[in-house]
Homo-oligomer: A and B are copies of this chain.
Amino acid sequence: MVPGMRNAAETRAMLLDTAIQLIWQSSYHQVGVNEICRQAGVTKGAFYYHFETKADLYYAAAHNHWNEFKDEFDRQFSPSFTPLEQLQNLIDMIVDKQKNDPLADEMEVSGCPIFTAGAQVGAEEAKVIQCSREITGEVNKYHIALVRGLKADDMLNGDPNIVQVARMIHQYIQGLLIYGRVFNSLEIVQTDLKEASYRILDLKQEYRQQSVTSRIA
């Protein structure tokens, strides 16, 4: 073992997880280094041993979070699912993440934990913006594959530009989550997400499912 290593990996992991959680629930500027340390049960000495700046921490934390979440993406976008099932998985995944993750008190929707921060900072915080761009690029690969699959199975009307449609899906999801965050309503997210996805994709009518509420009725 390396000398002096008490449990550096755990400390680092705690800082990464805590940072994402706090910043996600609140905002990049609102949550300070001090509070991240306090919540992580770590002192500032440890913090600045592992990370050079707050922005560096966020960058590492976001990428770490994405890497963990990537497994979920791989499962839900598995080729074992039909494109239609993949679409439904994506929708469910978004809603479930808002439902299940530990949120701030009485906050139903927190948005995307990674992209949100990119929207919260000005151009000064280059590293935060860059982070949003990079991970958006990663996520977009899944969206593109989804749209490509739907088109290949002839489920889409017209002859869409695949990359553009995938991008629009992403744009809409981000807008929707921020809307849900501002209006503190997970219900609207649930209600609008599927319908809007169908519309942006221009999914052929015969492949569209009724919404959950309508199906119950």
Contacts and interface: CB of A to CB of B under 8 A. Distances in A.
Contacts of A173: 175
Nearest to A111: B119
Interface string A17-55: 000000001110110000000000000000000000000
A73 B191 CA distance: 28
Given A168-B196, A176-B175, A202-B199, A182 B129 contact: yes
Contact of A195 (B121, B168, B178): B168
A181 B26 contact: no
A192 B175 CA distance: 14
B122 A182 contact: no
A105 to B, nearest CB: 8
B122 A119 contact: no
A119 B30 contact: no
A120 B119 contact: yes
Interface string A181-206: 11110001001100110011110000
Name the residue in A29, A107, A182, A196 with the highest tally of chain B Cβ atoms < 10 Å from its Cβ: A182
A92 B80 CA distance: 43
A168 B199 contact: yes
Interface in A151-194: 164, 167-168, 170-176, 178-179, 181-184, 188, 191-192
8 contacts: A25-B122, A118-B178, A132-B182, A133-B182, A167-B188, A168-B195, A171-B179, A175-B175
Interface of A: 25-27, 29-30, 104, 106-107, 111, 115-116, 118-124, 129, 132-133, 136, 164, 167-168, 170-176, 178-179, 181-184, 188, 191-192, 195-196, 199-202
